[in-house]
Amino acid sequence: AAAGESGGVGGAAEGVSAVEVSPAAAPPADGLKNTYCHMCQRGGKLIACDFCEKSFHARCIELKAVTEPWKCPVCLGYDPLKKDKDRKKTKAERMAHKEELKRAIRQLQRRSKPFRAAFLMSNFDSIRPFSEKKVLDVLRKDAGAAAKKPGKKPGRGRLRRLDDSEEEPTPTHIQHESDLVEDYLTQAERRGGGRAGG
């Protein structure tokens, strides 16, 4: 039966109510109605949709009153199982979400900055063929600057050590890591003949 018919679904007589009827009382065109709630998957006193096979407990969809013919939330384009995911956001909500994402990205960039040069330098051989000499020079400079600041700890978003110990890296650990980066740079320059880019 079409959605515009007022007599219910499946040839039900005019005026037959879909409110709290058993699923068999208002069958769809194929004769099948769910005998369990689409939300909680339990049986009981159900409200059957006049336009599809789904049935619901009134309490599961927080239904106060039923109109005739009754369309379930799914037929109305809102699946209650998905909560608010399908709800259209207002322009203000979309803009607020966009700004929140921008703030999160800026925060991640700030927190990752102390580790960026060291990470890239530890992968120097992998990035050298794809990087300009200028970029590699900036990386060397940043890695050198990090080596000269042994007492400075990164921001609140410090990376934890991989061995899951609760001990924070001390300045000597940071100095040691910076020395390793400098040694690696020197070795990489010797292997590459001082040539960057490719």
Q: Does residue 54 sit in the same domain as residue 122?
A: no
Contact 47, 55 (CB under 8 A): yes
Asked whether the predicted pLDDT for residue 197 surpasses 60, the reply is: no
pLDDT of residue 176: 52
pLDDT of residue 103: 94
pLDDT tens for residues 114-143? 787 778 888 888 888 888 888 888 888 877
What six digits make up the tokens of 193? 């003949």
Indicate the residue among 46, 69, 87 that finishes a domain: 87
Tell whether 80 and 122 lie within a shared domain.
no
pTM for the complete prediction? 0.30
Rounded Cα gap, residues 72 and 37, in angstroms: 11
Question: Where among 87, 104, 124 does a domain terminate?
Answer: 87
In a domain, 99, yes or no: no
Give the mean pLDDT of 16-34: 47
What are residue 104's phi and psi, to 5 degrees?
A: -65, -40
Query: Is 13 a member of any domain?
Result: yes
Same-domain status, 81 and 141:
no
Q: Does residue 1 sit in the same domain as residue 58?
A: yes
Domain with 148, as residue range(s), is 114-192
Query: 8 lies in a domain?
Result: yes
> Is 105 a domain residue?
no
- Rounded Cα gap, residues 142 and 116, in angstroms: 9
Distances 15 to 5, 47, 69 between C-alpha atoms, Å = 12, 16, 9
Residue 95, in any domain of the structure: no
Query: Domain boundary at 87, 103, 133, which?
Result: 87
Q: Is 94 a domain residue? A: no
Per-residue DSSP letters for 98-158?
HHHHHHHHHHHHHHHHHHHHHHHHHTHHHHGGGS-HHHHHHHHHHHHHHHT-TTPPP-TTP
Residue 108 located in a structural domain: no
Report how many domains make up the chain: 2
- Closest-CA residue to 72 (of 52, 88, 46, 45): 52
In this prediction, residue 105 has a pLDDT band, given cuts at 50, 70 and 90, of very high
Looking at the structure, tell me whether residues 21 and 83 fall in a common domain: yes
Whether residue 103 is contained in a domain is answered as: no
